[in-house]
Every structure is written in C-alpha cells, then in structure tokens.
Chains A and B, each alone.
Chain A
Amino acid sequence: METTTKFSYYPGCSVEGMNKAYDKSARVVCEALGVDLVELNDWNCCGASAYMSIRELRAHLLSARNLALAEKEKKDLVVVCPACLTTLTKTNHYIAENPRLKKTITTALKAANLQYYGSVKVRHLLEVVVNDVGENEIKSRIKNSLQDLKVAPYYGCQLTRPFGEVDDPEFPTMLDKLLGWIGAKPVSYPLKAKCCGGMLMMTKEDVGLELTKNLLACAMENGAECIATICPLCHMNLEAYQDNVNKHFGTDFHIPILYFTQLIGLAFGFSRKSLGIDDELTPSKALLEKHLEVVR
C-alpha cells in the first residue's frame, strides 16, 4: 500500500524561469516518493529581498496572499526556494508577533476577499524529504546507487538562517545525511552554509564572483567532484557563472552543479532528460558515467 502525503506546492518565480530543471526534478522525485505536490492556485511572488528592499508592508502583503490561499487548502505549504521559505516564514512570524502589522495586512487582504488566520506552516522540500519521507523509504527506492560520488552539499543561507527551525543555522547536516542515503559521499567543507553572493552577481559582479569562486575552490580542495544545491539562485551563480569566474580569476573550474532533487532522481533510476540535467551549462555526463551503473 502506498501512502501519500499531500502538500500545497509553491514553486516560486525562479523555477518558472531559468531554473525549470529544479521544478521538473522535484516533481518527478516527489511522485516516486508518494509526496503529492498540488501547485497552489494562482500564487504570486513571495516579496523576496529585492521587493522587501523598497517596500516593507507590501512585501508582507505578497507573502500573506500566498499564505491565505494556502490556508484554504488546509495543507502545509512546500517550497523549493530557500528565499521564498524565509520570506514567507518571516511574514508568518511578524504577523503573529506584531498586532498592528496583522491588522494592516488583514484589512488589505479583505479588499481582495481573502483572510489569513495564521495556521499555514511553510516548509522546504529538502526538510520534507529528510524528515517526513526518511531514510528507509528513500533507500528502498534506490536502483542506481551514486557509488561514492563525492558531492559537496551546499546549503547557502536562507534554509536555516535566520530562523534555524529545521537545522543548525551555521552547520546544517540535513543534506549531508540525505546524500549518504542515496550512496554518495558527502564532502565536508567549511563553506557549506556560506553566501554565494545572491543577487550581487547582477548588481556588484566583482563581489558576487569572489564569493562564488571561494565556494567552488573550497569544495574542490576538499575533494568534491560535484556540488549539490537546494536553491535556484545559488545554482545559477555556481553553474552559469563558472565561465565568468574562470575568466575573472584565471581559474579552471568545470565542476558540475546538480540540484539535490536531480541526484535523488538519478539514484532512483530516472533518465537525465526527465530530471532536466541536459539543460545545464557545466556538463555532468562524463562524471555520472564514471560513477553510476546506468546513465540514461
């Protein structure tokens, strides 16, 4: 008997655009695991950092609209982007802690015939897979073990900071564990929860490149053959900007960057195409062929 857990699913703008492979692989893997992701109807931007930098109340309103829509569905809201996680969670907390903010947001939502009572829990997919699905279930589905592929787990910032509700804010271990379950060898390296530069890659490129270069170098020096990501923005910086890093610093990085969902999918025997792995700018095919029994 298959048990199915239902969640409302909030993809976020980033995986609708340049990072579709994350959404694609998340859906494939969740279906295999009996995690039923029902996309939240008519969701909007969460009000992430760039919006919050100009408008505070309206950023909270954007998050609150999503939370109000999710509350109607009476399920936890699962996200794949840590920035969406932090933004939605922040609104949840601040509304609960500041009665005046709550009143303002409630009045504003009412103008759109919506209401939010504060009951929705926002969760990142990684945490759902590790805590709700768990080790046994995942191991039982492995058809194509990653056979000691050395993977640097990269957490970035906002999965655990600032709230630290699901893992240690500075030394998270959740992704390390998961990588072990699918047969990979998680690489220990000190920068695993350091910042990639985020949107600075657009607005202050030299700083963005510096932070990204440090991460790539640190992972490589500690023996990583590829890096696992859980955030579309980190993924973009590490993957699509590797060429720029090389040009800027005279380095020679060619390290494949894969979403954690793509790695699980490979271990479950799904084809590269079905996981969106063909879309990448830093090819991983040769590496995967070296480690996996079957690479489709």
Chain B
Amino acid sequence: MPEMHADRRQHSITDVFLEDIYSIPGGDKIKDCIQCGTCSASCPTSYAMDYTPREVIASLRAGLLDRVLKSNTIWLCASCYYCTVRCPAGVKLTDVMYELKRLAVEFGYVEKRAKAPVVSKLFVDLVDKNGRIAEVELVSKFMIKTNPLAALSMMPRAWKLFKRGRMPLIPHRIKGVEELKKSASTIEEISGLHAGTGKTAEEA
C-alpha cells in the first residue's frame, strides 16, 4: 500500500521500505526489534544466508538496506514463518522478507538469471495469463530460462512422473480470466504503480 505512488524512486530505499512495511497490519512492530537473534536461530536456511534475519534488521537500522537487497538472504526465505511466530517483539519477519523480495525486483537489484526471482516472475506471468498455475509449464519454462542443460538431468524424473499421469501438459484457463484482468488493472490504477517494474502506470 504505497503512500508515495508515482515518485517512489525519488525516495531512499529505506523510506520506501518503511512506508510499505508500516502499511502491513502489525508491520510497525519492526521498531521493537531487540536484536536477540531468535529469528536467525529459528531460521532453517540462515546457515546459507549472506546476512541472517537479525542482520537484515540491523542493516536496515544502519542504512545499509541495499546490501541486503543484493544478497542471497531474501531469496533463501522459504516462508516457514518460524521467525514470525517466535519473535518476542512480534516482528513479522516473513512479511519483511516478502517486502524485500518485491523491492529487490522493483528497484532492479536482482541479476537477470537469478533463479528465485525468475521463477517468481514466471509464476506471476502464468497466473495472470490463465488464472491458475500449471506446474509443468512453470518448471519447463524455468529450466529453459535458467539452465537448459540441467533440464536434461531432470528428464528421468519427468519421465517417471509422466508415466504415472503426474505431468498434465495442457494448462487450465479459468473462465473468469478476463474479469480478473479488469480487477488487476483497477489495482494498478489505484496504486499508481506498474507493480514489479518500478514504473508508474503512465511510464509503462
């Protein structure tokens, strides 16, 4: 729910982040972080992160959010919500990670072939097109975009799944897909943003 609308890029990334996070119910709890590290200790993937969840909030406070946006941290969050339910200050860390993912894409902090953003973007495109997601289409397009050679190594499993009727090849398109598009453009008009591109509706 951005307040700043069209000129988000005129503001610092910290201000944009805070604006967005405060609009999430309970989002202002981020101010109450006591740096205890319960989030990092509870996180199943923090061992592989450039910055742990505690360090994400420390970076925010130090004005170093851009190093987090460039890091692997946000894309390693699997949305397990352990940090969120355990945080003694009530910080909604999983929502923080979602917000950081969105900002990283919106403000161009991600590499073109970075796998997680690629899969998310494909996911959005396919859902916008059909109203539902077809896993087979998602996985195959993902492989082509990121690592076509590795697709070969997935063939044995794909074949096994196919033989068992677990690879439906034709995606389902919902009847209300055009209506859904109307709703989506209404959202874009209201937010004044062409979400995900960082451009205003006019620019796009």
CB of B195 within 8 A of CB of A53, answer no
Write the A10-26 contact mask toward B (1 if CB under 8 angstroms, else 0): 00011011111000000
Q: Smallest CB–CB gap between A112 and chain B, Å?
A: 4
**What is the number of contacts between chain A and chain B, taking CB atoms within 8 Å?**
208
CB of A50 within 8 A of CB of B187, answer no
Does any Cβ of A come within 8 Å of B65's Cβ? no
Does any Cβ of B come within 8 Å of A192's Cβ? no
Assembly CA distance A83 to B81 (angstroms): 11
Write the A243-282 contact mask toward B (1 if CB under 8 angstroms, else 0): 1000000000000000000000000000000000011110
Write the A198-221 contact mask toward B (1 if CB under 8 angstroms, else 0): 111011101100010000000000
* A interface residues, Cβ below 8 angstroms from B: 13-14, 16-20, 42-45, 47, 49-58, 61-62, 65, 83, 86, 93-94, 97-98, 100-101, 104, 107-114, 157-158, 161-162, 164, 169-170, 194-195, 197-200, 202-204, 206-207, 211, 240, 243, 278-281
CB of A58 within 8 A of CB of B184, answer yes
CB of A61 within 8 A of CB of B187, answer yes
Assembly CA distance A206 to B48 (angstroms): 10
Which A residues are CB-close (under 8 A) to B76? Answer: 200, 204, 207
CB of A170 within 8 A of CB of B85, answer yes
CB of A279 within 8 A of CB of B85, answer no
CB of B81 within 8 A of CB of A198, answer no
CB of B119 within 8 A of CB of A56, answer no
Contact status of A54 and B196, CB under 8 A, knowing A13-B134, A18-B135, A108-B190: yes
The residue of chain A having its C-beta at the shortest distance from the C-beta of B100 within the complex is: A53
Write the B165-188 contact mask toward A (1 if CB under 8 angstroms, else 0): 111100010111001101111110
Q: Smallest CB–CB gap between B39 and chain A, Å?
A: 13
CB of B164 within 8 A of CB of A279, answer yes
Assembly CA distance A106 to B87 (angstroms): 32
Q: Smallest CB–CB gap between A169 and chain B, Å?
A: 4
Q: Smallest CB–CB gap between A217 and chain B, Å?
A: 14
Does any Cβ of A come within 8 Å of B160's Cβ? yes
The residue of chain A having its C-beta at the shortest distance from the C-beta of B150 within the complex is: A205
The residue of chain A having its C-beta at the shortest distance from the C-beta of B146 within the complex is: A203
CB of A169 within 8 A of CB of B85, answer yes
Does any Cβ of A come within 8 Å of B102's Cβ? yes
Assembly CA distance A271 to B56 (angstroms): 51
CB of B79 within 8 A of CB of A49, answer yes
Q: How large is the interface on B (under 10, 10 to 19, 20 to 34, 35 or more residues)?
A: 35 or more
CB of A104 within 8 A of CB of B135, answer no
Which A residues are CB-close (under 8 A) to B174? Answer: 42-44
Does any Cβ of A come within 8 Å of B199's Cβ? no
CB of A98 within 8 A of CB of B115, answer no
CB of A104 within 8 A of CB of B44, answer no
Interchain CB contact (< 8 A) of B75 among A17, A18, A93, A203: A203
Q: Which of A56, A112, A280, A281 has the most CB of B within 10 A?
A: A56
CB of B123 within 8 A of CB of A51, answer yes
Known A-B contacts: A54-B102, A65-B176, A162-B81. Give 11 more (CB < 8 A).
A16-B134, A45-B127, A57-B187, A58-B124, A86-B81, A104-B191, A110-B186, A199-B119, A200-B78, A281-B157, A281-B164
CB of B168 within 8 A of CB of A101, answer no
Interchain CB contact (< 8 A) of B84 among A42, A65, A162, A278: A162
Write the B103-126 contact mask toward A (1 if CB under 8 angstroms, else 0): 001000000000111011101100
A-B interface, 7 closest residue pairs, ranked by CB to CB distance from nearest: A161-B81, A112-B179, A195-B80, A97-B25, A50-B123, A17-B135, A203-B115
CB of B183 within 8 A of CB of A109, answer yes
Which A residues are CB-close (under 8 A) to B24? Answer: 94, 98
CB of A204 within 8 A of CB of B23, answer no
Which A residues are CB-close (under 8 A) to B92? Answer: 162
Does any Cβ of A come within 8 Å of B161's Cβ? yes
Which A residues are CB-close (under 8 A) to B142? Answer: 202
Contact status of A278 and B164, CB under 8 A, knowing A56-B98, A61-B184: yes
Which B residues are CB-close (under 8 A) to A243? Answer: 157
Q: Smallest CB–CB gap between B181 and chain A, Å?
A: 9
CB of B186 within 8 A of CB of A107, answer yes
Does any Cβ of A come within 8 Å of B136's Cβ? yes
CB of A51 within 8 A of CB of B45, answer no
CB of A18 within 8 A of CB of B161, answer yes
